Amino acid sequence: MSSHHVRRLVIMRHAKADWPGGVADHERPLEERGHREAPLAGRWVLKHNIVPDFILCSSALRTRQTCTWVCSELGDKAPTPKLEDGLYAASALRMLTVVNHVPDTVTTLMLIAHLPGVQDLAMHLASRDSDHEAYMDAATHFPTNAITVLETEKPWAELDGQDARITRFTVPRAH
């Protein structure tokens, strides 16, 4: 594999979650809108040919449900997601440590987790040659179901900050 091989990191915030009384934060499910919108993220990824070959997903219920919807849209192109306890309530640097351990054979990695970590990670990794509009969108708001796509030539293990270009930012929504 050449050192110029482009890797893509797709950072996604889970879809809209509910706040049922008496339910621990880790076990909060998606609300109705979340169940409607999470599949749209899978469709967006397919349409733009950014299909992940590896998915890291927080172990929280809302991220697992989001991941299930995304994978159902990807169909037989969907990789088997890896649940990662370390992504729940994680800081950007904790998330980066998880990313740094991804095998080099992975070319498109999707990470499904929570605020503020997902936004902080995107901003931490964003290089100066990022798409300006996408960068500003990701920096100023990172709502549920938001997706930031970054590209880098570096191996996962070497990512440490300002070394990936933000190329796209989108929030798939039901109209």
State the total domains in the chain. 1
**CATH number for 68:** 3.40.50.1240
Bond preceding residue 116 cis, omega within 30 of 0: yes
Does residue 67 contact residue 99 with C-beta atoms inside 8 Å?
Answer: no
| Domain ranges, residue 101 | 7-170
Report pLDDT digits (tens) over 40-51.
Answer: 999 999 999 999
Assigned domain for 33 exists: yes
pTM above 0.85, yes or no: yes
Assigned domain for 175 exists: no
Report pLDDT digits (tens) over 68-105.
Answer: 999 999 999 999 999 999 999 999 999 999 999 999 99
Assigned domain for 1 exists: no
Assigned domain for 128 exists: yes
With b for 16 or more beta-carbon neighbours within 10 A and e for fewer, the 85-122 pattern comes to eebbebebeebbebbeebeeebebbbbbbbeebbbbbb
Assigned domain for 27 exists: yes
Chain mean pLDDT for the chain: 96
Assigned domain for 90 exists: yes
Assigned domain for 2 exists: no
Q: Which residues are registered as beta bridge partners of 30?
A: 17
